Amino acid sequence: MPSHLDDAPMAQEWRLKAKLDVHEPARALDGVLGRFRGPDVVKDVQSAVGKDAVITHDGSLLFAYAPSQQAIDAIRAEIESALASDQITADVVVGVWDNERDRWRQVEPPLSARQGQVEAAAARADEAVETRTLVATAGRIVRADFETAMLDGAQALGLECTVVEHPHLLSTQVAFTVTGPKRKIDEFASGLRAEGAGMTRADALLQASPL
């Protein structure tokens, strides 16, 4: 999932995001959360929300995550009640996690015609097929394992992938040419950087080992 709060477990597929119309949002959000986490509120919504709900804020925005629309609706009702008691208004957006596109998809309020056009254009761009060559440093000892891991990863993403043999590459470098949807190549590139860093550390440990 997604952002600083996208550390929420994958089971929490529904998200509420609220922007409060106040001068000091952090203080207001602390107050809202304090009341929401009170024993009476917890008792009232526990049956609908369950134990998997997460509610937090980053100082300016309030976020709630839940595993179902019923649960997020219950959370929303309690949050809006708490805000109303302080005469605070907020712009609330509810979304659901789109596994296919790896992002949040807005459900409520419905997207405007213009927003829908922008979303459709972004979706087309994500799905546009392209070919890209990516280079990573892996280390000499673990290079074969690195190549295998990335080729397997590309296959899992549905990408065409080949290892590039080029005389100008250093012995610790590996290059891959991948073809497929842009968003999947972006995901592959992110994994390539992470896997390369891990393999480089492993290579250094192996070289330092007396065995």
Question: How far are the Cα atoms of 21, 32, 52, 106, 107 from residue 85, in angstroms, in the given order?
Answer: 14, 10, 26, 27, 26
Q: Is the pTM of this model over 0.75?
A: no
pLDDT tens digits, one per residue of 147-189: 899 999 999 999 999 998 776 677 678 899 999 999 899 999 9
Distance separating alpha carbons of residues 28 and 51, to the nearest angstrom: 24
pLDDT tens digits, one per residue of 52-95: 677 777 767 888 888 888 889 988 887 788 778 777 788 899 99
Average pLDDT, stretch 186-209?
A: 72
Burial of residue 75, with CB atoms counted within 10 A of its CB: 0-12 exposed, 13-18 middle, 19 or more buried: buried
Residue 9: pLDDT over 60: no
50 pLDDT band (50/70/90 cuts)?
low
Distance separating alpha carbons of residues 181 and 186, to the nearest angstrom: 9
Please confirm whether the linkage preceding 2 is cis (ω < 30° from 0): no
Domains of the chain (ranges; CATH) run 14-121 (3.30.70), 128-208 (3.30.1370.10)
Q: Output the pLDDT for position 57.
A: 72
